[in-house]
Structure 1
Amino acid sequence: MSDIIGITMGDPCGIGPEISVRALADMSPAERQRTRIYGNLTTLEAARAVLGLDLDLSPNVVDLPLDGAPLPWGQLSSVAGDASFRFIERAVRDAQACAIGCIVTAPINKEALNSAGHHYDGHTGMLRSLTGSKAAYMLLASERLKVIHVSTHVSLQEAIRRATTERVLATIRAGDAHLRRVGYASPRIAVAGINPHCGENGLFGTEDDDQIAPAVAAARAEGIDAHGPISADTVFHRAYSGAFDLVVAQYHDQGHIPIKLVAFDTAVNVSVGLQIDRTSVDHGTAFDIAGKGIANHGNMNSAIAYARKLVAGRSEQG
């Protein structure tokens, strides 16, 4: 299996090209040799010029065509949406062929992606489709708080519908398996409730008692150290303070808000359950600052470091 990290450039009109180039510039020569950027060389060179860096990009770029490159910074474009899909598609094929060991994704714009005819809710759904995986889970990892989601880019009403016993149990299992892979001998997993105070014995809803509690019980019966449901207004603080290694969040904002509060620039988005490894920055395309050379690339550095950890862990497992 390759130890090369493949960075997908993201939307050419966003900050992805800048943070990709800046991250590459931060690397040691040895790390740079084990890194590829899947994108458009002309766009990446424009980003390098914006950043004022003296760096030969060509040895590290898998150059894919882009009509009109470089496109204007900060503008919604179906051309850019199509390009961002093609960058990812090529990286996925190379990962499946073991030419790269892990994909690190810079941000894409979902509106641009869909306007180009690629109808996905984001990276995770796209990667699940491209790899033919049955399921994929979004895990956000920071130093003191880690969260995995039962559902992500759906309405709150749909998220409640999806919080079935089977889906919650599958999410617990996926989180437990991932943490064991990255070095936790017996991960302590907290499962957040979906209603205020976990429904208060049915006063505020019965989903916690009827759907979530049975999933926790089933996980414990399998030997997983799962706890809950625990009221969402306390569980994240308890995890951040060290009581748990991972929180299972029932929907997008329940998990994203605490992570972005405590680790906005360092949290890493990890796709769990795919046939390939993928990490990502946990922010968007930031069209308002694209092309200005001021985007913070700390999140990209964290995503790359996590990717190298996954690759190294797989090598150790044989």
Structure 2
Amino acid sequence: MITHSKKIAITLGCPAGIGPEVILKSLDYFKKNFPEILNHLLIIGDEKVLKERACWLKVEFPKEVEVLSLSELSIQPGKPCIEGFLAMSSFVQKAIELAKEGKIKAIVTGPISKEGLEKVGVKHKGHTEWLAKDLGSKEFVMSFYGERLKVSLVTTHIPLKEVSERITTDKVFTTVKLSYEFLLKLGVDYPKIALCGVNPHAGEGGLLGKEEETVLKDVINLCQEAGFPVYGPYPADSLFFWAYQGRFDLVVAMYHDQGLAPFKLIHFEDGVNLTLGLPVVRTSPCHGTAYDIADKGIANPSSFIQAIKLAYKLSRA
């Protein structure tokens, strides 16, 4: 039973993955460093799994944290199963229901198995598309946050050969707009956003590709008319260096690996994935279920800790 509304919901993710472990380690971190956050948290998951994993990890579950338990599973770490996949999907669905009812102000999603979703009949590629559809968001953006680098993606999980046709004026403009609003919520007073070119050397004046001339320059004009401080398009091979040095506050990348390769080079352990454009804040760690280490107790909670911190900050902005 939820005793307090407007909490930050944390979904457990796949019970057989490292989700329960990194959540428990994160709670232990906050208990020692920022205990005031604990009262704002609601875990949607399986209380039995959490208690068993806490005992195994030798950490105490904070009494301040509320748990909404939807299952009672006997799950071995590192051994995913259909029962776990069904529970995993129910945790996300419950968070969506609570968000629609206005009972939570943010969702931090534990790592799920996309293969597991498919096996239990959930026809979504992942959290981003699922949350956007069920929460009624027609405009949404996959973005990534780190202290030194912030990146938003124009296209996400599509084959590289389809990228060019998916880069439209409307899509890039929406990515810029939502990214700008995100930076303002972070407290950046005068945000600067840079666009990556699609092609090597940002097209080299049209010699290596036309998208910079036919789409991106029009987008920059539209953005500047709307008051969004956007620059570029710049060659991706140098832009990320300048963003890392602080010249720009956020980079808009045109496709998945263009943005995530440099981002994860810098923020592999502490980066945060977030979905812009939803009616509630949504963050998540940048890692997956990591079944291969789920029974070893060595999972790094840094990304999950940062995901909770960012959700807390944005939900209060």
Q: Which TM-score tier does this pair reach, normalised by the shorter chain?
A: over 0.9
Is the CA contact 2:28–2:62 (under 8 Å) kept in the aligned structure 1? no
Is the CA contact 2:111–2:287 (under 8 Å) kept in the aligned structure 1? yes
- Secondary structure of residue in 2 paired with 1:24: helix
Distance 1:305 1:55 in 2: 19
What does 1:232-243 align with in structure 2 at a 5 Å threshold?
Answer: 232-243=236-247
Taking every aligned residue pair, what percent have the same amino acid on both sides? 39
Structure 2 residue 56 is matched with structure 1 residue 45: no
Structure 2 residue 25 is matched with structure 1 residue 19: no
Q: What is the root-mean-square deviation in Å for CA atoms of aligned residues?
A: 1.7
Distance 1:122 1:220 in 2: 33
- Secondary structure of residue in 1 paired with 2:274: strand
Is the CA contact 1:191–1:249 (under 8 Å) kept in the aligned structure 2? yes
Distance 1:301 1:193 in 2: 33
Aligned-residue offset at 1:121 = 1.2
User: Per-residue CA shift, 1:87-112, capped at 9, x if unaligned?
Assistant: 11111222232322211111111111
Give the partner amino acid of 2:17: G
Distance 1:257 1:214 in 2: 27
Give the aligned partner of residue 85 of structure 2: 81
Structure 2 residue 216 is matched with structure 1 residue 204: no
Unaligned runs of 5+ residues in structure 1 are: 314-318
Give the aligned partner of residue 32 of structure 1: 38
Structure 2 residue 282 is matched with structure 1 residue 274: no
Find runs of 4+ consecutive structure 1 residues off by over 6 angstroms.
none
Distance 1:182 1:24 in 2: 23
Give the aligned partner of residue 178 of structure 1: 182
Is the CA contact 1:45–1:57 (under 8 Å) kept in the aligned structure 2? no
Give the partner amino acid of 1:41: E
Give the aligned partner of residue 164 of structure 1: 168
Structure 2 residue 13 is matched with structure 1 residue 10: yes
- Secondary structure of residue in 2 paired with 1:254: helix
What does 1:95-244 align with in structure 2 at a 5 Å threshold?
Answer: 95-244=99-248
Give the aligned partner of residue 263 of structure 1: 267
- Secondary structure of residue in 1 paired with 2:205: coil
Distance 2:63 2:259 in 1: 37
Aligned-residue offset at 1:220 = 1.1
Give the partner amino acid of 2:190: S
**25-34 or 49-58, which moves further after superposition?**
49-58
Is the CA contact 2:39–2:64 (under 8 Å) kept in the aligned structure 1? no
Q: CA 1:85/1:135 → structure 2, altered by over 3 Å: closer, same or farther?
A: farther
User: Per-residue CA shift, 1:227-270, capped at 9, x if unaligned?
Assistant: 11111101111101011000001111111111110111111111
Unaligned runs of 5+ residues in structure 2 are: none
Give the partner amino acid of 1:36: L
Is the CA contact 2:195–2:233 (under 8 Å) kept in the aligned structure 1? yes
Give the partner amino acid of 1:159: V
Distance 1:75 1:196 in 2: 43
Distance 1:52 1:77 in 2: 25
Give the partner amino acid of 2:186: V
Is the CA contact 2:152–2:179 (under 8 Å) kept in the aligned structure 1? yes
Is the CA contact 1:20–1:37 (under 8 Å) kept in the aligned structure 2? no
Is the CA contact 2:38–2:65 (under 8 Å) kept in the aligned structure 1? no
Is the CA contact 1:94–1:100 (under 8 Å) kept in the aligned structure 2? yes
Distance 2:40 2:178 in 1: 28
Distance 1:204 1:81 in 2: 45
Aligned-residue offset at 1:71 = 2.0
Distance 1:211 1:4 in 2: 41
Give the partner amino acid of 1:47: R
Give the aligned partner of residue 62 of structure 1: 68
| Corresponding pairs, count | 311
Is the CA contact 1:15–1:289 (under 8 Å) kept in the aligned structure 2? yes
Aligned-residue offset at 1:3 = 4.9
**198-207 or 76-85, which moves further after superposition?**
76-85
Distance 2:260 2:298 in 1: 24
Aligned-residue offset at 1:59 = 5.6
Q: TM-score, normalised by structure 1?
A: 0.93
Aligned-residue offset at 1:58 = 9.5
- Secondary structure of residue in 1 paired with 2:99: helix
